[in-house]
Amino acid sequence: MAWKSAAFGPFPPGGLQALTPHVTAYYTEAYPCSNAAIVRGTDATLVFDATLLSQARALRHAVDAAPPPLRELVISHSHNDHAHGAMYFTPPARAWASRFARDRLAYWATRDLAPFAEEMRALNPELAAEYAEVRIVVPEQVVEGQAVIELGGGVRVALYSEALAHTAGDLWARVEPDGVVLCGDLWFNGHEPYLGNGSAAGSLTALRHLRESGGSVFLPGHGPAGQIAADPDEPMGRYCRWVMERTSEGLARGLSGESLRVAVRAEFIAQRDRPGGIRFIAEWPSFLEDAVEATEEEQRSTPH
Ligand SMILES: [Zn+2]
């Protein structure tokens, strides 16, 4: 839905956009609007992030429409809009994830997924109705630090793991020789970022790592591919710093919990329409409140 906004430009046919000779971006048009990528070498094809349900089936269809065969699936993190479509790729693909994401998926593999269907119902009832068929894939390939996957013909995907940022364990990838960086939800472009399961400070560190990778083009977890602007202008980085600053200031004034979240929301609304204010083409209800809650917890537990 957000992609249809004129500010993002026209939605590409089938959601597919060739970024470089070996990398194609896959965008999903409906909520939750998560992105994936197809990387093709001469021997094997890799999928970075699975999306979910009918969006994942359409991605698998696109993967199988050209050689070489699917062999690898990288799951950037355990959130459902990136991980719950894994069943459409694995098998045959080997699935890769961080230890944290693997453990989260192992937890959900044995539990009722009704809470996910419920959450989806308000924003995309069609996907919610399909949720009963989800089988969670628990990745067997755990990445700690770095890993490299060779796809043949000199095409290789280097994987890097981050500490607490978007979640407590996200992977990102750099595809060679193309220089494409696949960011997962460590970077949101034009979409308000979700920090509620992670850390604003950690997200700034991850953004720096992405930027310093020197990629030629960056695919975010949500929003169109592009460049990560330099500090201090990059909107997600500005948002992270702003949330940290307003949370810290609110705590210093004696606010906490609900009163802090209400105050920061009011401040966000007040600043967003001012010239140069922080705003996103796609903003989501409660993302800011969740970010403030996580930041409050982090600032209370970190000695200043
Ligand atoms: Zn996410």
Residue 2 pLDDT greater than 50, yes or no: no
Virtual CA dihedral for 50, 52, 54, 55, nearest 10 degrees?
A: -50
Residue 15 pLDDT greater than 50, yes or no: yes
Distance 263 CA to ligand 1 centre (A): 25
Residues near ion ligand 1 (Cβ under 5 Å): 79, 185
Distance 222 CA to ligand 1 centre (A): 9
Mean pLDDT computed over 54-69: 97
Distance 232 CA to ligand 1 centre (A): 23
* CA atoms of 23 and 17, how far apart (whole Å): 9
Report the SS3 class of residue 302: coil
Residue 8 pLDDT greater than 90, yes or no: no
Residue 4 pLDDT greater than 60, yes or no: no
Of 47-51, 130-134, 197-201, 237-241, least confident by mean pLDDT is 130-134
Distance 43 CA to ligand 1 centre (A): 30
Confidence grade of residue 5 (pLDDT, cut at 50, 70, 90):
low
Exposure of 261 by Cβ count < 10 A (0-12 exposed, 13-18 middle, 19+ buried)? buried
The residue assigned the tokens 């460590």 is 186
What is the share, in percent, of the chain residues with pLDDT greater than 90?
86
The residue assigned the tokens 């065969």 is 69
Q: Domain spans of the chain?
A: 2-231, 237-301
Distance 303 CA to ligand 1 centre (A): 28
Distance 79 CA to ligand 1 centre (A): 5
Residue 123 pLDDT greater than 90, yes or no: no
The predicted pLDDT at position 304 comes to 57
Confidence grade of residue 1 (pLDDT, cut at 50, 70, 90):
very low
Exposure of 33 by Cβ count < 10 A (0-12 exposed, 13-18 middle, 19+ buried)? buried
- Whether the full predicted model's pTM is greater than 0.85, yes or no, is yes
Nearest in space to 201 (alpha carbons), one of 248, 241, 231, 247: 241
What tens digit of pLDDT does each residue of 218-265 get? Answer: 999 999 999 998 888 899 999 999 999 999 999 999 999 999 999 999
What tens digit of pLDDT does each residue of 153-180 get? Answer: 999 999 999 999 999 999 999 999 999 9
* Dihedrals phi, psi of 215, to nearest 5 degrees: -65, 160
Confidence grade of residue 92 (pLDDT, cut at 50, 70, 90):
very high
The predicted pLDDT at position 3 comes to 53
Average pLDDT in the chain = 94
Per CATH, the number for 2-231 is: 3.60.15.10
